[in-house]
Structure 1
Amino acid sequence: MQAAFAPLRHSTFRALWIANLASNTGLWIQNTGAGWLMTSLAPSPVMVSLVQAAAMLPVFLFALPGGALADVLDRRRTLIAAQLWIAAAGLLLAVLAALGLLGPWGLLALTFAIGAGTAVIFPAWAAATPELVPHEDMVQAVALNGVGFNLARALGPALGGFVMAAAGAAAAFALNALGFLALLWALVAWRRPIPPRSDLPPERLPSAVRAGLRFAIAVPAMRAAILRACAFFLFASAVWALLPLVVRDRLGLGPAAFGLMLGVAGCGAVAAGVAMPMLRERLTQGRLVFFASLLAYAATALLGLASHWAPAAFAMLLFGAAWLAAGSTLGVAAQLTSPTWARARALGVYHLSFFGALAVGAMLWGWVGTRAGVPMALVLCAGAGALAAVAVRPWRLDGSAPGTAASRVKGLPDVPLPLPKAPAPTFADLLHEDSGRLLEAVHYRIDPVDRAAFLAAMREVRHVRMRTGALVWRLYEDVAQPERWTELWAVESWTEHLREATRLDEADRTALARAAAMHHGDEPPKASRHLNVDPC
Structure 2
Amino acid sequence: MAKATSSTFSPLRHPAFRLLWIASLASNTGIWVQNTGAGWLMTSLAPSPIMVSLVQAASMLPVFLLALPAGAFADIVDRRKHLILAQAWMCAMGALLCLLTALHMIGPWGLLALTFAIGAGSAMNSPAWQATTPELVPRSDLTQAIVLNGIGFNLSRAVGPALGGFIIGLGGTQAAFAFNAVCFLVLIMALVAWKREAPRSALPKEHFLSAMRAGVRYVAAAPALRATILRAVTYFFFAAAMWGLLPLVVRSRLGLGPEAFGMLLGAMGVGAVGGGMMLGRMRDVLSRGTTVFLATIIGSAALILLGVATHWAPAALGMLLYGVSWITASSTMQANAQLSAPAWVRARAIGIYQLCFFGVLALGSALAGWLGDYVGVQVALVSFGLGGLLSGIAVRRWHLDGPTPIPAPATAIPQPEAPAPELANLLARGRDRVLEGVRYRIDPADRTAFLAAMAEVRRVRLRSGALWWRLYDDVAHPEYWAEFWAVESWTEHLREMHRLEPEDRAIIARATAFHRGDTPPEASRYIAQDPQ
Shorter-chain TM-score bucket reads: over 0.9
Aligned counterparts, 1:118-157, within 5 A: 118-157=122-161
Is the 8 Å Cα contact of residues 150 and 334 (structure 2) preserved in structure 1? no
What residue is the counterpart of 2:480 in the other structure?
484
Question: Shift of the alpha carbon at 1:199?
Answer: 2.5
What residue is the counterpart of 2:388 in the other structure?
385
Aligned counterparts, 1:64-103, within 5 A: 64-103=68-107
SS in 1 for 2:436: strand
**1:24 aligns to 2:28 (yes or no):** yes
What residue is the counterpart of 2:397 in the other structure?
394
- C-alpha offsets along residues 8-43 of structure 1, whole Å, 9 cap, x if unaligned? 111111111111121122112101100000001111
**1:56 aligns to 2:60 (yes or no):** yes
After superposition, the CA RMSD in angstroms is 1.6
**Is the deviation greater in 69-78 or in 318-327?**
69-78
SS in 2 for 1:429: helix
Distance in 2 (CA, whole Å) between partners of 1:350 and 1:533 is 38
What residue is the counterpart of 2:422 in the other structure?
425
SS in 2 for 1:206: helix
Change (3 A) 1:478 1:431: farther
Q: 1:453 aligned to 435, 449, 453, which one?
A: 449
Question: Shift of the alpha carbon at 1:347?
Answer: 0.7
Question: Shift of the alpha carbon at 1:516?
Answer: 2.4
SS in 1 for 2:198: coil
Aligned counterparts, 1:38-49, within 5 A: 38-49=42-53
Distance in 2 (CA, whole Å) between partners of 1:521 and 1:431 is 35
Is the 8 Å Cα contact of residues 54 and 359 (structure 1) preserved in structure 2? yes
Distance in 1 (CA, whole Å) between partners of 2:160 and 2:461 is 46
Distance in 1 (CA, whole Å) between partners of 2:91 and 2:498 is 37
Q: 1:518 aligned to 514, 519, 526, which one?
A: 514
Aligned counterparts, 1:234-313, within 5 A: 234-313=237-316
SS in 2 for 1:495: helix
Matched residue type, 1:527? A
What residue is the counterpart of 1:203 in the other structure?
206
SS in 1 for 2:410: coil
Question: Shift of the alpha carbon at 1:519?
Answer: 2.1
**1:220 aligns to 2:223 (yes or no):** yes
SS in 2 for 1:528: strand
**1:319 aligns to 2:317 (yes or no):** no
- Ranges in structure 2 where 5+ consecutive residues have no aligned partner: none
Distance in 1 (CA, whole Å) between partners of 2:520 and 2:105 is 72
Is the 8 Å Cα contact of residues 150 and 267 (structure 1) preserved in structure 2? no
Is the 8 Å Cα contact of residues 96 and 102 (structure 1) preserved in structure 2? yes
- C-alpha offsets along residues 131-179 of structure 1, whole Å, 9 cap, x if unaligned? 2222232222222223223333444223322222222222211110100
Question: Shift of the alpha carbon at 1:89?
Answer: 0.8
Distance in 2 (CA, whole Å) between partners of 1:73 and 1:111 is 26
Matched residue type, 2:320? L
Question: Shift of the alpha carbon at 1:7?
Answer: 1.5
Matched residue type, 2:149? N
- C-alpha offsets along residues 409-443 of structure 1, whole Å, 9 cap, x if unaligned? 24x224252314414624723653432x3221111
SS in 2 for 1:2: helix
Matched residue type, 1:417? P
What residue is the counterpart of 2:7 in the other structure?
3
Distance in 1 (CA, whole Å) between partners of 2:526 and 2:25 is 52
SS in 1 for 2:429: coil
**1:439 aligns to 2:435 (yes or no):** yes
Is the 8 Å Cα contact of residues 226 and 350 (structure 1) preserved in structure 2? yes
Distance in 2 (CA, whole Å) between partners of 1:188 and 1:74 is 13
**Is the deviation greater in 499-508 or in 413-422?**
413-422
What residue is the counterpart of 1:111 in the other structure?
115
- C-alpha offsets along residues 223-271 of structure 1, whole Å, 9 cap, x if unaligned? 0000110000000000011000000000001112112211211211111
Is the 8 Å Cα contact of residues 471 and 484 (structure 2) preserved in structure 1? yes
Distance in 2 (CA, whole Å) between partners of 1:455 and 1:155 is 52
Question: Shift of the alpha carbon at 1:391?
Answer: 0.9
Distance in 2 (CA, whole Å) between partners of 1:302 and 1:333 is 30
Identity %: 59
Is the 8 Å Cα contact of residues 11 and 145 (structure 2) preserved in structure 1? yes
Distance in 1 (CA, whole Å) between partners of 2:198 and 2:387 is 48
Q: 1:346 aligned to 345, 349, 355, which one?
A: 349
Q: 1:496 aligned to 477, 489, 492, which one?
A: 492
Is the 8 Å Cα contact of residues 150 and 270 (structure 1) preserved in structure 2? no
What residue is the counterpart of 1:165 in the other structure?
169
SS in 2 for 1:194: coil
Change (3 A) 1:240 1:416: closer
Is the 8 Å Cα contact of residues 478 and 485 (structure 1) preserved in structure 2? yes
Question: Shift of the alpha carbon at 1:128?
Answer: 1.1
Distance in 1 (CA, whole Å) between partners of 2:225 and 2:159 is 32
Matched residue type, 2:291? L
Question: Shift of the alpha carbon at 1:534?
Answer: 5.5
- C-alpha offsets along residues 360-379 of structure 1, whole Å, 9 cap, x if unaligned? 10111110010100000000
SS in 2 for 1:4: helix
Is the 8 Å Cα contact of residues 27 and 156 (structure 1) preserved in structure 2? yes
**Is the deviation greater in 152-161 or in 222-231?**
152-161
Question: Shift of the alpha carbon at 1:292?
Answer: 0.4
Is the 8 Å Cα contact of residues 305 and 318 (structure 2) preserved in structure 1? yes
Question: Shift of the alpha carbon at 1:390?
Answer: 0.8
Matched residue type, 1:233? F
Question: Shift of the alpha carbon at 1:506?
Answer: 1.3
Is the 8 Å Cα contact of residues 418 and 524 (structure 1) preserved in structure 2? no
Question: Shift of the alpha carbon at 1:44?
Answer: 0.6
Distance in 1 (CA, whole Å) between partners of 2:524 and 2:18 is 50
Distance in 2 (CA, whole Å) between partners of 1:152 and 1:413 is 48
What residue is the counterpart of 1:403 in the other structure?
none
Number of aligned residue pairs: 528
**1:360 aligns to 2:345 (yes or no):** no
